[in-house]
Amino acid sequence: MPDRHPIVSGVFYPGTSRSLRHAVDALLRTPPLPVPEPVLQAMADATRQEAHPAVCDGPDVSSDATSGLTPGVAQGAAPKPPAPASVTTDALLVMLPHAGYVYSGRVAGRTLSQVRLAPVVFMLGPNHTGRGAPLAVWPEGDWLTPLGSVPVHERAAAALLDKDGGYTANRTAHEGEHSLEVLLPLLQVRHPALSIIPVAVSEQDAGALQRAGASLARTMQELAAAGVPSSIVLSSDMSHYVTRTQAEERDALALGRMAALDPEGLYATVRHNRITMCGVLPAVVALHACRALGAESACLAAYDTSASASGDHERVVGYAGMVAKRPAA
C-alpha cells in the first residue's frame, strides 16, 4: 500500500512539524482581507443583486497581521491557537490557492477558517507536469506531511473509479505535483480526522469534464446515502505573471462564473480572455458536481495577489478562496 511523500516540504511551506504547525495556526487566524472593486463587482453581477451578496459573511478572526509566514504571531512568540469561528458554513465546495504560504497562505487560511468540511474530502487539483492519466485518482495508502499522515478513503476512491466518469487509478500524475500537497497541512490542522480522495485533472475536453463532474456527484450521493458525507476541495491559483490591475480585472471575470456555479461559462471565459487560472479544469469538474448536487451559487471568502507579500505589482499571481454551501437535504 504505497504512501505519497511530500515533495515541496521546506520550500512551499515549513519543513518541520513545529514550524509548520506554528505557521498554519497563524494563517487560520488571518483577518478579513480587502477585496478589490473589480472582484466585488463581479460577485454582485454574478447574482444580479446589489451590495455584493456573493461575498461570504465569515467570522471575525483576530490577528496581529504581521508580515511573512506567520501573520498574527510576534517575532519569537508561540502561536495562538486558531480562533474558533463564530460562523461556519457547511461547505460542499471550497476552492483554495496552492502557492507558497508566504504568498497564498493568508487566502487559504482565511477561507478555511470560515467553513466546516465533511470528514471525507475529494481533493481536485491541476496537473502541472502533464504526466499520468487525465483524471488520475490516488487509490489507497496515506499522504504524508511533516504534521503526520492523511489516509486515502479507499472505499470512496473505489466508488469513484467504478463509475463511467473517465477516472483512472494513477499515481504518476501525483508524484511530481504540488497543488494538493500544499493544502494538506492546513486541512490537517483545521480538520484532524480528515480522509481524502486525491484527483489530478489534466483532461481538456469539455464533455469529458462534464461526465467526470456527474460521476463525482453520483459518488458523493451514494456515500451520503450510506451515512458518509463528503466535500470537495478544489486547488487553484488565478492569473499568473501579469500586473496587479490586470490580475484583478481578469480574475473578476472567472470568479463571477465561479460564483454562479457556471462550469461552461467558466471554461469559455478563461479561454476567451486568456486567463491563466491553472486549476480551471478541475474547477469545471467541481462546478458540474456542485450543480448536480443542487448547489446554486458560491461566495468569495478571500482574495489577494502575490504583490501583498513581494511588493511587486508588475508581475503577480492572483489567489482566491471560494465556498459553495451544502444544499439543505
Q: How many domains does the chain have?
A: 1
pLDDT at 57 (0 to 100):
65
Domain span at residue 44 reads 17-74+82-325
Instruction: Identify the segments of the chain with pLDDT beneath 50.
Output: 50-52, 58-86
One-letter-per-residue 3-state SS of the chain: CCCECCCCECCCECCCHHHHHHHHHHHCCCCCCCCCHHHHHHHHHHHCCCCCCCECCCCCCCCCCCCCCCCCCCCCCCCCCCCCCCCCEEEEEEEECCCCHHHHHHHHHHHHCCEECCCEEEEEEECCCCCCCCEEECCCCEEEECCEEEEECHHHHHHHHHCCCCCEECCHHHHCCCCCHHHHHHHHHHCCCCEEEEEEECCCCHHHHHHHHHHHHHHHHHHHHCCCCEEEEEECCCCEEECHHHHHHHHHHHHHHHHCCCHHHHHHHHHHCCCCCCCHHHHHHHHHHHHHCCCCCCEEEEEEECHHHHCCCCCEEEEEEEEEECCCC
pLDDT at 54 (0 to 100):
78
Question: Tens digits of per-residue pLDDT, 283-317?
Answer: 999 999 999 999 999 999 999 999 999 999 999 99
CATH code of 90's domain: 3.40.830.10
Residue 12 lies in a domain: no
Residue 235 lies in a domain: yes
pLDDT at 85 (0 to 100):
44
Residue 8 lies in a domain: no
Residue 201 lies in a domain: yes
Residue 203 lies in a domain: yes
Residue 2 lies in a domain: no
pTM of this structure: 0.90
Residue 315 lies in a domain: yes
pLDDT at 52 (0 to 100):
46
Question: Tens digits of per-residue pLDDT, 187-202?
Answer: 999 999 999 999 999 9
pLDDT at 71 (0 to 100):
34
